[in-house]
Amino acid sequence: MTITITAFERSPDKGQGLARDMRVRWALEEVGQPYTTRLVSFRAMKEPAHLALQPFGQIPTYEEDGLALFESGAIVLHIAERHPGLLPDDANARARAIAWMFAAVATVEPPILERQVALFAEGDRNWRAERMPLVDNRIRDRLGELSTRLGDAEWLDGAFSAGDLMMVHVLIRLRASGILAEYPSLAAYVARGEARPAYQRAFSAQRAVFTTAPDRD
């Protein structure tokens, strides 16, 4: 059965590849699996049909042969476990790659998302000027640790894996802030991820949604 994923009908990031369906698209492209995309509006995401797939009213979701999944990390892990190319064969290396997937979403991403909330959802609050430096310093702490761990290696643990896929996509969110550029090894790491043909195909597919989607909620 064909894999179906959901994505925003109107991309809030204006086609910059930041929405989380990008992670799923990229994973499917890396393992060579075709898929179809069902676009959902902001209104539809809160309706019963979508909430039955994603109880928090978000994207992406994944459907295949009676299986429905939500949460981008869980979906990418499922894809990586079912198809070769994103997880090593060696059991220990495989476990480490999965650990990096969790590190991306549980350790590195939270302060980055906190920054986005402070900028866009709380931008008019009187505490913003005091809060932003604190948030940015928390991000720098994580990036410094990550940069030290990466060193001069190409990827986090040997060959490219699902751990790198998740980490690169998390770090891409920082590009506009200028913080990523303060860590040349991480900026180069992200650039290597974006240069992968599978990433380019996924980016083009997500970008096409923004350029062709109707202007409605």
Q: Digits of tens for pLDDT over the chain (217 positions)? A: 799 999 999 877 777 888 999 999 999 999 999 999 999 999 999 999 999 999 999 999 999 999 999 999 999 999 999 999 999 999 999 999 999 999 999 999 999 988 877 666 555 666 666 677 788 889 999 999 999 999 999 999 999 999 999 999 999 999 888 999 999 999 999 999 999 999 999 999 998 887 765 544 4
- Entry pTM: 0.91
Task: Give the Cα separation of 50 and 145 in Å (integer).
Answer: 38
Task: Give the Cα separation of 203 and 41 in Å (integer).
Answer: 20
The pLDDT value recorded for residue 136 is 86
Task: Give the Cα separation of 8 and 19 in Å (integer).
Answer: 8
Structure tokens at 173: 């969110």
Beta bridge partners of 69: 62
The pLDDT value recorded for residue 58 is 95
If we measure between CA atoms, which residue out of 75, 71, 74 comes closest to residue 35? 75
The pLDDT value recorded for residue 141 is 95
Structure tokens at 83: 């198809």
Structure tokens at 153: 């290696």
